[in-house]
Amino acid sequence: MSVCTLFFLVFISISCKSISTKNYKIESPLITGKSCIKILLISDLHSTVYGNDQEVLINKISVLRPDLIILSGDLFDSSSPMTGAISLLKGISGIAPIYYVTGNHEYWGNNVRAAREILLSFGVIILSDTYVLIEINNNELILAGIEDPEKKLFETPDYNQEDAMENAFRELDEIPLYKILIAHRPENIEIYKRYSFNLVLSGHTHGGQVRIPPIVNGLYTRNQGLFPKYGGGIYKPGNTTLIISRGLSLNYPKSPRIFNSPELVLITINN
């Protein structure tokens, strides 16, 4: 590799450390009235710290003024202190209701119980193979969440994600409301599509780490391999909309981001 090529890659990598905000707009007849619903998706922080006590990240979130905050797993990291995650939770706990599902790293670090205690202490609602009925701007929604499959290896040996979904969510098919599923892993979308969810929110992929727009949307993701089908962004598999956050993790120099800025995702749902 030439010196010029190396310099270019380092420059691009460094330039991809600033947080971007990705906006998606969705329309649905299940949303009534003139008020929209603003959902902020935060994924794969891995306890990365942005500024003193997460000041940079918290300020960006405050400006967006979401109605709902979703944490779709890997807020904590298996090999890093919990400080970054705790600072974020402390800073955003009063902005909007917060809902969370586990990611693989909460299990890999053997700290899932401690993570749950921390989340609950900040008023976060943990969706563990369950759903809740919520009301936002005079609209009733179903918000559901599933555990990461690593629960089977690290906590409950007889756990099966497919069985858990069937037991918890099949009854939702008869409810004529807008339904959102939070699931850390997008590669299991074929399972999620068996149910009546209008929107699935995921992370896990880190955007494939390396992108070459518009040619390559992601070079590699865990569980999908090279050139993943679901790297990051918005997809329309069947009657479901899948939105994947590219996440907020910065892991230099091990896993540099190239043309792949860490991101917050703001989803606006209108009638």
- In the chain, how many domains are there? 1
Domain range spanning residue 242? 3-270
User: Which pLDDT belongs to residue 271?
Assistant: 84
Per-block mean pLDDT, blocks of 10 residues, the chain (271 long)? 50 65 96 89 96 96 97 94 96 97 93 94 98 95 97 95 97 96 97 97 94 88 93 94 96 77 96 84
User: Which pLDDT belongs to residue 252?
Assistant: 60
Residue type, 15: S
User: Which pLDDT belongs to residue 189?
Assistant: 97
Q: Which residue, among 69, 60, 63, has the nearest Cα to 38 in the 3D structure?
A: 69
User: Which pLDDT belongs to residue 12?
Assistant: 47
This prediction has a pTM of 0.93
Residue 200's CATH number: 3.60.21.10
Residue 239 is encoded by which pair of tokens?
């009657």
Torsion angles phi and psi, residue 267, rounded to 5: -110, 125
User: Which pLDDT belongs to residue 16?
Assistant: 61
